[in-house]
């Protein structure tokens, strides 16, 4: 599906097939890691209110999910797995408290070794998908035409593009898709003509 598509039924159909697309990849552990990321982690974060945080174990599992989806880089997993629990908790609490300032929230997380803007976006999307989408390769290509620039500056352009799309869709269709839903629609090349 093309990012410019305005057919609400195609958008919802693409989103509803996300789980099937994940399963069809036949990547070891991806289905269970995706279940953790999309369902278990957001619930854990909500249970930690009023001062939600992510643990080193959560971050390590999130990194496994991210790397299993894309290019496997074991050094990143080693970095995040060795982070001090108190440092991860503090950085994530500061990050979540910074929202809706996405730029500041990303900066609070990228102080952690092994966490760049893309991983920070995954953490934020698990906590606040209505504010911060995950910076996946597929969603970046769909929204911006490229996926190789993993900088905060490019992430903010990506967020702005998805926010603009969400505003148009909501005003036209009274649609309630989160920004992260838009990313999931484009994950794994699920494009159709509109």
Q: Using one digit for the tens of pLDDT, what is the confidence trace for 86-113? A: 999 999 999 999 999 999 999 999 999 9
The average pLDDT across 7-33 equals 82
pTM of the model: 0.87
Q: What is the pLDDT of residue 112?
A: 99
Q: What is the pLDDT of residue 191?
A: 41
What band does 64 get if pLDDT is binned at 50, 70 and 90?
A: very high
> Nearest 5 degrees, angle CA 148-CA 151-CA 154?
80
Q: What is the pLDDT of residue 22?
A: 86
Average pLDDT, the chain: 86
Q: What is the pLDDT of residue 148?
A: 78
């Amino acid at each position: 599906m093309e990012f410019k598509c305005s057919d609400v039924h195609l958008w919802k159909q693409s989103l509803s097939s996300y789980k099937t697309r994940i399963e069809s990849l036949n990547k070891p552990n991806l289905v269970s890691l995706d279940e953790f990321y999309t369902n278990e982690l957001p619930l854990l974060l909500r249970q930690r209110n009023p001062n939600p945080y992510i643990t080193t174990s959560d971050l390590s599992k999130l990194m496994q999910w991210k790397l299993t989806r894309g290019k496997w880089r074991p050094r990143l997993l080693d970095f995040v797995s060795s982070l001090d629990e108190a440092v991860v908790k503090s950085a994530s609490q500061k990050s979540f408290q910074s929202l809706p300032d996405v730029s500041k929230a990303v900066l609070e997380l990228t102080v952690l070794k092994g966490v760049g803007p893309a991983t920070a976006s995954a953490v934020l999307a698990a906590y606040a998908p209505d504010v911060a989408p995950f910076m996946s390769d597929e969603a970046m290509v769909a929204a911006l035409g490229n996926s190789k620039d993993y900088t905060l500056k490019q992430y903010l352009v990506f967020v702005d593009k998805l926010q603009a799309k969400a505003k148009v869709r909501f005003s036209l269709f009274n649609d309630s898709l989160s920004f992260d839903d838009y990313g999931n629609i484009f994950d794994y090349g699920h494009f159709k003509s509109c």
